Amino acid sequence: MNARDDKALSGEDRLIAKYFRPLAKHPGALSLNDDTAVLAPPPDHDLVITKDALVAGVHFFANDPPGDIARKALRVNLSDLAAKGATPIGFLLAIALSDTKEEWVAAFAKGLGGDADAYNCPLLGGDTVTTPGPLTISVTALGSVPKDKMVRRDGAKVGDIVLVTGTIGDAALGLALRRGAKWKLDNAQGEHLENRYLLPQPRNALATALRDNASAAMDVSDGLVGDLDKLCRASHVNVTIEAALVPLSAAAQAALKSDPKLIETILTGGDDYEIVCTVPPGKLAAFHAAAKAAQVAVSEIGTVAAGEGARFTDADGKPLTFARPSYSHL
């Protein structure tokens, strides 16, 4: 991404200069005037890097507000940094535009810049191209953690407590509503679920609490069932969760009441961007206190046991089985 401010600017350079350069507040972005960004993580810190892609019609609706599309693209990456206990440094954006209307780009950049400021994660660089297909976005987010302190998936130990942030299933239900599902919900409940799909709430406020206390963590993006299973397998442990202990919003509870089969959508649908983590018993009080200070709700949902993988049960201990335990693109 590079830009300059004069009359000889191409359309691409002009859009970048006008809408994206103001977001490039990191000195290492070199005002988007070079081939690359350049930076160093803070002394005695590791760099944490994640990259997600979003496609119109797959990860969001093409007619969603452009500012919200931008924010979702950044937030799904911020969620990965949060789960790893990392502090955001900045991000790179590659965008393949299918609609080059300037007002769309302006609204996209405005949403992006708002979140870049809110999460202290400035634009570092990237690439702007056009596509004959759907709008496609890739964000690469960089963060830092004190050396060797990244919270990995493979550190869960037998006896650790399993916790999850916020509420699970809202976004998957919101997506179903967007696709025309009808349940007994009032307007506010429907809106709550749809908003949770439109705009994730990454738990970056919890990063320090996780770094100081969690033995393992990951963000819940492909559904709690599949993601917790991945964490358990990486750690070579078992977790058995009674489904009723999984925190649900009032809206999700209402939807589930109107159709009990929705438990599968809730637990496996994905797009939650909550964090599931394990905390040793000796650090549990400190973790709860830190989460409270960070104003992030956390719920205990189980205990790590010997074994391999995650299981979910009903109130009688009977295993729940799911047609598709985890969101998969292929």
User: Closer CB to its own copies, residue 102 or residue 259?
Assistant: 102
Instruction: Give the C-alpha separation, 119 to 78, whole Å.
Output: 8
Decide: is 265 part of the binding site for its own copies (CB under 8 A).
Answer: no
Binds its own copies by CB under 8 A, chosen from 18, 25, 46, 303: 46
Binds its own copies by CB under 8 A, chosen from 178, 230, 236, 283: 230
Instruction: Give the C-alpha separation, 169 to 280, whole Å.
Output: 26
Select the span of 63-71, 145-153, 162-170, 299-307 touching its own copies (CB under 8 A).
Answer: 145-153
Select the span of 166-174, 244-252, 281-289, 320-328 touching its own copies (CB under 8 A).
Answer: 320-328
3-state DSSP of 294-320: CCCCEEEEEEEECCCEEEEECCCCCEC
Render 252-291 in DSSP notation, one character per residue. HHHHHHH-GGGHHHHHHS----EEEEEE-GGGHHHHHHHH
> What's the min distance (Å) between Cβ of 270 and its own copies?
12
> What's the min distance (Å) between Cβ of 111 and its own copies?
20
Considering only residues 8 through 27, tell me which ones interact with its own copies, judged by CB under 8 A: 8, 10-13, 15
Binds its own copies by CB under 8 A, chosen from 68, 160, 170, 229: 229
Neighbours of 318 (CB within 10 A): 8
> What's the min distance (Å) between Cβ of 58 and its own copies?
6
Decide: is 150 part of the binding site for its own copies (CB under 8 A).
Answer: yes
Neighbours of 254 (CB within 10 A): 19
Decide: is 127 part of the binding site for its own copies (CB under 8 A).
Answer: yes
Site string for its own copies, 79-98 (x = CB under 8 A): -xx-xx-x-----xxxxxxx
Decide: is 138 part of the binding site for its own copies (CB under 8 A).
Answer: yes
Return the closest-CA partner of residue 216 out of 287, 282, 155: 155
**Residue 69 in tokens:** 């599309």
Binds its own copies by CB under 8 A, chosen from 115, 219, 272, 274: 219
